């Protein structure tokens, strides 16, 4: 049975995307090829197990796989087109379970969603993909905070015209799809200033990605100013979300012409874990400015292990901030002795005498 908590809602729920690393055997979706008849019903069974795992870890924010319903919108594999109707009861039950667990859910379709494209067929395919994602969230009975995150898309030789095409194509989407979409700034093409330009013409809510903003900020907008502007695009009754990651610092091993070379990391790549001092500075800045509550999707290669480590580090370095990101402040939830282990790679307490062992 899920454990019951009675603490107040934290100001910033921490979440992670899709893949679970800490417990072997937990799958995010049915990844079988179409020849093996994958189905949404299998994905939902996997998702129920993930929900139970998240509850044991007191994680209340999760990005679901964009492939929960395999081949749902594939133009020729019509046998997959009615999965939402076939799983209507199961989807409603999963939505009820998410509400019971106070679990915020989101989706983030892949790069193939391109509302800025000049190709009508690609835009049409993007619209079908977004409509399918919105219908899935609607079938779960989830509220307006269950959003679908998209990027502007490609430049196609002219960024200004690409922005204009996004606005036109967004306006043609059905209303219930528009209400699910949120727009994220990226690290190479469209900055927060571009997404604000689109917001002013469409009303679409914005998600600030902090690493992308550091990589692409032609206006020189300080991070907290950028955050304040992105949060202001959300209605007062809805809780915004942002994306936080740390830039990779580890060297890359690149093999070329049969020779392995060491290359420096790319600044837009995610690190395995989150820099705790970066998060501490962010939370302190948010407190100083008295910004509204918002949730934080952590984009780190170590997935939920990075989230657990960050919570632990906040408790260690700044106990006064720990309660901002977890119910019950500094105390993690107890796990029944009969429950399976919550992590195959336990997050060990920080000790001042610990020394790193170099292989």
Tell me the C-alpha distance between 152 and 159, whole Å: 10
Confidence of residue 338 (pLDDT cuts 50, 70, 90): very low
Alpha helix positions (H), the chain:
40-56, 83-86, 88-100, 120-139, 159-171, 175-178, 192-202, 210-215, 223-231, 276-289, 303-317, 319-322
Closest to 221 measured CA to CA, from 230, 131, 144:
230
- The per-residue pLDDT for 268 is 81
Tell me the C-alpha distance between 11 and 289, whole Å: 14
Q: Is residue 340 predicted with pLDDT exceeding 50?
A: no
Mean pLDDT of the residues in the chain:
90
Q: How many CB atoms lie within 10 A of CB 102?
A: 14
Ordered structural domains, the chain, with CATH:
14-322 (3.20.20.150)
Could you tell me the two tokens for 229? 């502007």
Closest to 196 measured CA to CA, from 213, 180, 179:
213
pTM of the model: 0.88
Q: How many CB atoms lie within 10 A of CB 26?
A: 17
- Over residues 303-332, the pLDDT tens digits come to 999 999 999 999 999 999 999 998 754 443
- Over residues 221-270, the pLDDT tens digits come to 999 999 999 999 999 999 999 999 998 888 888 888 888 888 887 878 88
- The per-residue pLDDT for 333 is 40
Tell me the C-alpha distance between 182 and 178, whole Å: 8
Closest to 332 measured CA to CA, from 351, 311, 306, 310:
311
| Geometric angle at alpha carbon 145, from 140 and 149, rounded to 5° | 95
Closest to 338 measured CA to CA, from 10, 56, 116:
56
Q: Kind of pairing, strands 181-184 and 205-207?
A: parallel
Residues in the chain: 359
Mean pLDDT of 3-23: 80
What is the per-residue DSSP string for 296-320? EEE--TTHHHHHHHHHHHHHHH-HH
- The per-residue pLDDT for 191 is 98
Listed range (41-45, 84-88, 94-98, 320-324) with the worst mean pLDDT: 320-324
Could you tell me the two tokens for 230? 């992105």
Q: Kind of pairing, strands 252-256 and 259-263?
A: antiparallel
Cross-strand partners of 259: 256
Residue 8 burial (C-beta neighbours within 10 Å; 0-12, 13-18, 19+): exposed
- The per-residue pLDDT for 160 is 97
Confidence of residue 290 (pLDDT cuts 50, 70, 90): very high
- State the helix-helix crossing angle for 276-289 and 223-231, rounded to 10 degrees: 60
Can you say whether the dihedral through the CA atoms of 349, 350, 355, 359 is positive or negative?
positive
Cross-strand partners of 318: none
- Over residues 92-145, the pLDDT tens digits come to 999 999 999 999 999 999 888 999 999 999 999 999 999 999 999 999 999 999
Q: Is residue 354 predicted with pLDDT exceeding 70?
A: no
Collect all residues with Cβ–Cβ distance below 8 Å to 343 and sequence separation of at least 6. 22, 23, 305, 308
Tell me the C-alpha distance between 331 and 344, whole Å: 21
- Over residues 143-167, the pLDDT tens digits come to 999 999 999 999 999 999 999 999 9
């Amino acid at each position: 049975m899920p454990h019951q908590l009675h603490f107040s809602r934290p100001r910033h729920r921490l979440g992670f995307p899709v893949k679970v690393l800490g417990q072997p055997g937990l799958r995010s979706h049915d990844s079988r090829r179409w020849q093996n008849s994958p189905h949404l019903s299998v994905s939902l069974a996997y998702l129920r197990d993930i929900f139970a795992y998240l509850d044991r870890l007191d994680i209340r924010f999760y990005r679901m796989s964009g492939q929960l319903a395999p081949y749902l919108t594939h133009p020729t594999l019509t046998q997959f087109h009615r999965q939402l109707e076939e799983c209507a009861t199961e989807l409603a039950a999963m939505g009820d379970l998410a509400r019971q667990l106070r679990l915020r859910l989101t989706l983030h379709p892949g790069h193939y969603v391109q509302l800025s494209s000049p190709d009508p067929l690609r835009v049409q395919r993007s619209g079908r993909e977004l409509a399918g994602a919105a219908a899935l969230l609607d079938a779960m009975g989830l509220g307006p905070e269950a959003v679908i995150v998209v990027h502007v898309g490609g430049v196609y030789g002219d960024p200004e015209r690409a922005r204009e095409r996004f606005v036109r194509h967004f306006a043609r989407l059905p209303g219930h799809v528009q209400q699910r979409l949120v727009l994220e700034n990226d690290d190479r093409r469209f900055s927060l200033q571009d997404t604000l330009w689109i917001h002013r013409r469409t009303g679409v809510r914005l998600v600030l990605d902090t690493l992308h903003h550091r990589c692409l900020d032609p206006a020189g907008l300080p991070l907290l100013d950028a955050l304040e502007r992105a949060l202001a695009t959300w209605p007062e009754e809805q809780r915004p979300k942002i994306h936080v990651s740390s830039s990779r610092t580890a060297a890359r091993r690149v093999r070329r012409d049969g020779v392995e070379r060491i290359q420096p990391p790319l600044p837009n790549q995610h690190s395995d874990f989150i820099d705790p001092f970066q998060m501490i500075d962010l939370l302190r800045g948010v407190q100083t400015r008295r910004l509204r509550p918002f949730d934080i999707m952590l984009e780190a290669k170590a997935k939920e292990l990075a989230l657990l480590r960050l919570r632990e580090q906040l408790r260690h370095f700044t106990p006064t901030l720990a309660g901002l990101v977890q119910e019950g402040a500094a105390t993690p939830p107890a796990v029944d002795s009969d429950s399976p282990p919550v992590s195959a790679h336990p997050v060990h307490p920080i000790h001042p005498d610990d020394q790193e062992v170099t292989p």
